[in-house]
Structure 1
Amino acid sequence: MQFIQEWDKTFPRSDKVDHQKVAFENRYGITLAADLYLPKARGNQKLAALAVSGPFGAVKEQSSGLYAQTMAEHGYVTLAFDPSYTGESGGEPRKTASPDINTEDFSAAVDYLGRHAAVDRNRIGIVGICGFAGMALNAAAADKRIRAVATTSMYDMSRVMARGYYDGFTAEQRAQMLEKLSQQRWADAEGEAPALAGGLPETLDGVDDPVTRMYFDYYKTPRGFHERSVNSTTGWAVTSPLSFMNMPLLTYIAEISPRPILLIAGDNAHSRYFSEDAHEAAADPKELMIIKDANHVDLYDRMDKIPFTRISEFFNEHLK
């Protein structure tokens, strides 16, 4: 794979960590591209490691890379990866999401980290942001090598696609959506490539919805725009919801126990209820941390809002 080698992140490069582009395959044979961050002051002792991904529709040059670099400054070996079918990772057709394959992407990252010379494979955790928080919890439930999991601004993508925000879809609305997506398959099969949803608007003229405006402020402005990000550009394949609508991601969240979960959400986040409900469904040990005066997107990149010290303490306690 031909990687972009120059620094093209949405955040400044740290002089406290070493960085390199790496690649590895998941169980489906898809090559994933990732940024590996290692503390410069690491000595010869093997370190705890973290795999990071999200938000849903973002790339490793955005929020997940910021998390990975910052956690490397805290002493962890970290890996921020592009999920299958997105960014610099492989997989065709492009800009497609899958609850199964994207869950597998986390386990493939654990495969990579556990074979790295600087990593203690018995001390690996994962961090999921936004929609990839749900995939991270799903991965931790199945993959017992994952010793601890933290999420921020969590979305359960299977729930929101199947039921709408706040579970607002009626049975008729769900049936109508499935009918529309099913018909779209004919168009995709007869075309050259799957149709794309179109993504966020190019301007906020006439847009009153606060959630759209919030996402625009990150993905469509210099704050977080990246040319390889699905959310910054064309949006996902129209039919992406199909694979999520019948496959609940958090069915086995209680089976993460006795390994710990840290769920972090903003008090003003429209998505806060996903973290609260996941916390209720999970078994101990678990922790729900609500960040004052923070919305959903604040926990993507606002260094004064993201509780990196607590995240580091959490993994330091549980990745012994």
Structure 2
Amino acid sequence: MAQPTIARPETETFVRNVWYIAALRSEVGESLLGRTILGISVVLYRTRAGKVAALRNRCPHRGYPLTEGKLGDDDVIACGYHGFRFGPDGTCLSVPGQDKIPGRSDVRSFPVTENGPFVWIWMGDPELADPAGIPAETGFADPDFRFVSGNVVIDANHELIADNVLDLSHESFIHATKIGTREVAETPITSSSSESRWLVQASRIMRDVECPPTYRERTGLRSPIDREQHINFFVPSLYVLDTMVVAAESRHDPADGPRRAYHGKVIYGLTPLSERQTHYFFAIGRDYAQDDPEMDASVQEGQLCLIDEDAYAVGVLQNLMDTEGPEFEVSIRLDTAALIARRMLARRLRAEAKG
């Protein structure tokens, strides 16, 4: 069916032709879930056949949210205000008081797919929505990794959060009691980009460094360690961090056998709710303690603590920007990846605006 249009601001601030994480798979069931994405209210639910549907969460009659309605056993939503009925594809099936359904009574449906622990949504041109476009770098298909996932809302623009996760030197200060050591801020990064994939990459390799508290607790390693961080950031919203910690080679005795390296994956989906709020989805993977529910709980709790610390910092910045406006910034070499991402986002917005 022809998709109803949604009014756009004169100056677009969000990339739309990209897969955004909309929800955890576990959140979407046979009930109506409302979520605002890129400033647009969406309703998600799972049909009796198990397929996820995503519709504009506004009845075209008087704009009443469909989440205030009722989902029937036939997968049809009945608007809770005046009873307009809509199928999973957004087609208006009936209206009260007449047989003829008025034109433009359908609601917009959005392409969705499931990958890893997430439901993904495409807010742009549905003809371009290819699920194969979700990067394989997430590692969700890798059986060596066990993932723990969750989501929170942060009161800050998604670009501020991207700056935060692309410059991991803040770990030395914001996360000093958990995963940060002085070497993170003191070690240079190498960075590169791929315009064809809208990808920014950054790596930091640290040798003979302190083992931070979180890694000591989870792996049993003691200082010194060798530590690596490799970032793949798919502008504007998907962040993948591959980490590795291992006993320092400089202190290793070959008689002790091979060193055990511990690998982790950190997946962040930075889905804009609005210009000043962001859905922060996460999936944290590890290749150790695979069948340990206590480790799952520890990882979940630890990640929420890290996000809370980051949320405070970017929230402070957002409040200052709201009250005082943008400020002149001094950048250094450790900002390289974040600066590349900012410029790439601007180019992607311009390219999308040109069609």
TM tier relative to shorter chain: under 0.3
> TM-score, length-normalised on structure 1?
0.26
Determine which structure has more spread, i.e. the larger CA radius of gyration: 2
Of Structure 1 and Structure 2, the greater helix share is in: 1
Q: TM-score, normalised by structure 2?
A: 0.24
